[in-house]
Structure 1
């Protein structure tokens, strides 16, 4: 009898469940399911920390007497941190694993929270926000990919990746909404408004770090050293049109969010004379909560319909917001922002999902990092431009110009994205 040839070694992509004996399969699935919850909590906490200072800027500004432009510089430092982190390390989870980078992100945010507590003059705020951005840039693409892979392994079905993308988008924007509300509420009702919010975040980050330690890894690391290179902002081969349509649509979506996490409290104070810290936080919360909720409510729509509905809501909401600013209707300003936020959620999720679908799991972290890199430029560049314009122009013309810019950009990019979506 001739000898039987040895079977060829199998190649397992990061999103495929590892073969396991039946007796261990149920335990493995439960472990991956619990890991998904742990990563989602860490992702939520990191993103919440990003907006905790938003309703506190007016307190810093009143205490130190700096102009609105300084507020935009402090906020821009966060955006710069995100972009630098995405450029240098956002793709490294494809090589070194998802869990180490999620843990590194949480650790960086702990450093940032301590900086807010011990160094809270203007220079300290800039440094702390820069460090915050570094942690956020590290976690966005990594946690998005990690959640999808954990859910696939927990369920044994590749279809779970779509549901995980909904969860990742909702956690991303939901965390941003929660942070603003928590920061505003603690600042309004608890003593030491520039201390207590950061202490609460420190506790949450420590819990998140411990939880992620138990989460399974989903990437098989190469045994051979992989040369380091920064993230390339390049489309996958043959997918340039789809990649850039997704990136610019995400840029436009986050440009709306940037307005409400940086200078919206100033607009409320100067135009509508609303100086309540909880109101400032609740306004930002409403915009981001609508972004997260719309992704869940309309998750069953096709990607093309989500984009089109998102454009209608985003453009309609911004038109209402601009009209309310002209006619001094604070309810219309906030309501328009919430409606626009719902549109942002749909457009942003569709853009990220489209970008992630362009490649296989082995390249997904890098492509998502590149897309987030383009998107977070929308959170930074337009806001700095607004801050600079406010040095020489009244508030209302600056706001209206910002709205026109975002509307045109969203319509152009969103229309192109919808034409390429299924």
Structure 2
């Protein structure tokens, strides 16, 4: 126990600093917690994109149209948005660790559903549950990583490095899942089972290690009335909040394209049906998103935002032109370049939103920002699927590119002005 002394002025008891050995032990625990949460965050986000290269297999097996693929994907987005609205902010009250454990448990349920119920209706339910887990996790883990890092180092400035790590883990995990799913589907038997078995093991390990992670939120002594996440800007920060939300929306709209219908575009437009190629394409886009955050981390924030917009818009332009002239290398390469821009714009958006408030409100503000972001992951993709029922592929793709590029330019200009 800590020793207690009296203050000279008042005689009131004051807690003496903890012994140096105890402080070192506490920092080691928080350092371990940082890596444990990072592993869990990576595992959950990777699991979220495992089905991306497998949709073509499901589609060929069951004969459903591309629009059905977008419905399956939309179920995931609906789950993410729903859980962000209902529970994404609850870690500010109930603690970070319990919400992370709930998220991992939901992903384990989803993995089992993929294994035992893999017709179209089962896919929709499994993707819905996957989204519920991801929505519960994203804002919570992002806030938890920053708090653990500060307590592990004793340096408030380390929160910035934790923000980079959170962005890399988020988008890097998404890239890893697509690659693992595609590689296992191509080189291992039972492609609609083995990828999910692998992640059952990874998620179970993540659940166990998170049990040992220190909590960083003090629960309130009085009961707090429950309410869903309010989609509103912090007082006095309306313009900055909505600029951040628009940037995050545009960034994930690009990612949504490559986790839903891009493999179908590759197969129908470019006649590329290799499962690993489909997974590698999604991996390349998400990996570029994660890598750009590391490579350009030392640039001034305003420069990162402007570079992100240039890369995102330029990459989408190359992608669209390549689709017109039927150059698959340009289509994939344009996606990778756009992905690099996504990483910079997404991290700037989330970082800008999180910096608007103090720790006691950060989980809620981040949840609101992620809510807008995942609407970008879902709504445009469903619109693409619906448009493909009545329009050819090419004009739909070009329209998508123009809309997302315009949103990115709009948000980037406002974020850069405030950086």
* TM-score, with structure 2 as normaliser: 0.97
Is residue 127 of structure 2 the alignment partner of residue 129 of structure 1? yes
Match of 1:309 in 2: 307
CA deviation map 1:282-317 (0-9, x unaligned) = 000000000000001111112111110000100000
Between the aligned partners of 2:150 and 2:8, the Cα distance in structure 1 is: 38
Match of 1:377 in 2: 375
Deviation at 1:416, TM superposition (A): 1.1
SS in 1 for 2:203: helix
Match of 1:113 in 2: 111
Instruction: Indicate the RMSD between aligned Cα atoms, in angstroms.
Output: 1.4
Is residue 398 of structure 2 the alignment partner of residue 393 of structure 1? no
Residue 76 (structure 1) aligned to one of 74, 98, 123: 74
Match of 1:410 in 2: 408
Between the aligned partners of 1:328 and 1:152, the Cα distance in structure 2 is: 50
Q: Which runs of 4+ in 1 moved over 3 A?
A: 6-10
Match of 1:15 in 2: none
Residue 5 (structure 1) aligned to one of 5, 10, 22: 10
Q: Relative to structure 1, is the Cα distance of residues 322 and 77 closer, same or farther in structure 2, using a 3 angstrom cutoff?
A: same
Deviation at 1:211, TM superposition (A): 0.6
Alignment of 1:18-417 (within 5 A): 20-417=18-415
CA deviation map 1:306-339 (0-9, x unaligned) = 1100001000000000010000000000000000
SS in 1 for 2:273: coil
Between the aligned partners of 1:277 and 1:378, the Cα distance in structure 2 is: 26
Between the aligned partners of 2:88 and 2:13, the Cα distance in structure 1 is: 34
CA deviation map 1:37-80 (0-9, x unaligned) = 00000000000011000000000000100000000000000000
SS in 1 for 2:272: coil
Deviation at 1:278, TM superposition (A): 0.3
CA deviation map 1:73-98 (0-9, x unaligned) = 00000000000000000000000000
Gaps (5+ residues) in structure 2? Answer: 1-6
SS in 2 for 1:191: coil
Q: Relative to structure 1, is the Cα distance of residues 7 and 72 closer, same or farther in structure 2, using a 3 angstrom cutoff?
A: farther
Deviation at 1:417, TM superposition (A): 1.2
SS in 2 for 1:257: helix
Between the aligned partners of 1:239 and 1:19, the Cα distance in structure 2 is: 38
Deviation at 1:343, TM superposition (A): 0.1
SS in 2 for 1:148: helix
Which 10-residue stretch deviates more, 409-418 or 95-104? 409-418
Match of 2:4 in 1: none
Between the aligned partners of 2:283 and 2:80, the Cα distance in structure 1 is: 21
Between the aligned partners of 1:4 and 1:212, the Cα distance in structure 2 is: 44
Aligned residues: 413
Between the aligned partners of 2:275 and 2:17, the Cα distance in structure 1 is: 53
Deviation at 1:4, TM superposition (A): 4.6
Between the aligned partners of 1:6 and 1:416, the Cα distance in structure 2 is: 53
Deviation at 1:20, TM superposition (A): 3.0
* TM-score, with structure 1 as normaliser: 0.96
Deviation at 1:420, TM superposition (A): 1.2
